[in-house]
Amino acid sequence: MRLSQIKQVAVIGAGIMGHGFAQVFAQKGYPVFLYDIDKEILKKASLRIAANLDTFIKHGIIRQKEKKAALEKIATTTDLREAVGKADFVLEAIPEIMDLKKEAFTKLDQLAPPHAILASNTSGLSITEIGAVTRRPEKTIITHGANPPHIIPVVEIVCGEKTSDKTAELTYRLMLKLGKKPVRLLKEVPGFLFNRLQFALYREAMHCLEEGVATAEDIDLVVKAGYGFRLSVLGPLETSDFGGLDTFCRICQNLFPLLDASKEPPLSLKKLVEEGKLGVKTGEGLYPYPPAIARRKIRERDRRLLQQLKLFQARK
């Protein structure tokens, strides 16, 4: 299959990631079937996509007619056969549970045309294992985007043991066509790159919070106004070259023995989860989020990310 032969797309799972990816495909003119087992979630997904596009209009990323064109490209369905029967590219975004993914890929393999690529947005499960339930492991691959997927540019592309180079190349070029910044990993490792790096920082941030080094606000501020501020311009490896490798080596020597190296989730995090304090979605997490504040914070997050996206695209 050539890139120009990818004409119909299916997104499986219409939650946080699925609805955003459906939007990304539709904005580039691909007809998309957005499938979920839950009709209510599909209704909510359509409203979310319309709201996302309104935010794009408000910030000058797209015009009204592009919103209309994108919405016309998306059809929602609870019929899997209808969703994938004519799909050339299928993107799965259902919960991160191996048995569920295997079950879904078994069905996708049965219902999608033999030439279709089956991609998973898994955050860290093995595509070698998921792909093994299909008769086309060479056409299975990971395209791991970050939340919110309609804004964050990077998509990690991870191949399984049997993924073919053709599938990898085609998927890479498709992501480029979607306006994404694909990064192809050289090998399959748990957590890929994004989550290995993100969770190394998260472990230390939670450790500093538990140890009373600073407040949650100040820990986040040190990243937003300092380390993270620089990160979108210089990655951690470039940063060490700019800072001097001798200095970085000395700091590694002094600091590595003192950093948190625990193999379990932080106790305070486990406690919050047990109490049902799951963050924005339940109204409280490490910070309080009464509904009005949650809505304002999500709007504010998107506004700032879109400003950053404009700068990122201008740099290209």
Question: What residue ranges bind ligand NAD (CB under 6 A)?
Answer: 12-18, 35-38, 41, 93-96, 100, 104, 121-123, 144, 146-147
C-beta of 73 vs 107, nearer to ligand NAD: 107
- Angstrom distance (rounded) from CA 132 to CA 124: 16
Q: How far is the CB of 193 from ligand NAD (least distance, A)?
A: 13
C-beta of 122 vs 171, nearer to ligand NAD: 122
Q: How far is the CB of 2 from ligand NAD (least distance, A)?
A: 28
Q: How far is the CB of 13 from ligand NAD (least distance, A)?
A: 3
Question: Largest alpha-carbon pair distance within the chain?
Answer: 59
Give me the residue whose beta carbon is nearest to ligand NAD.
Answer: 15
Name the residue type at position 22.
A
Q: How far is the CB of 74 from ligand NAD (least distance, A)?
A: 15
C-beta of 69 vs 111, nearer to ligand NAD: 111
Q: How far is the CB of 182 from ligand NAD (least distance, A)?
A: 15
Determine which helix (DSSP H) or strand (DSSP E) holds 135, and give its type and residue range. none
Q: Measuring CA to CA, which residue among 100, 75, 104 is closest to residue 10? A: 75
- Angstrom distance (rounded) from CA 251 to CA 255: 6
C-beta of 69 vs 183, nearer to ligand NAD: 183
Name the residue type at position 177.
K
C-beta of 37 vs 47, nearer to ligand NAD: 37
C-beta of 96 vs 241, nearer to ligand NAD: 96
Q: How far is the CB of 132 from ligand NAD (least distance, A)?
A: 17
Name the residue type at position 51.
A
Q: In what order do the strands lie in the sheet with 89-92?
A: 74-77, 32-35, 9-12, 89-92, 117-120, 140-145, 154-159, 181-184
Q: How far is the CB of 102 from ligand NAD (least distance, A)?
A: 11
C-beta of 66 vs 285, nearer to ligand NAD: 285
- Alpha-helical (H) ranges within the chain are 16-27, 39-58, 64-73, 80-84, 98-111, 127-131, 165-177, 194-210, 216-222, 228-231, 236-243, 245-255, 267-274, 291-315
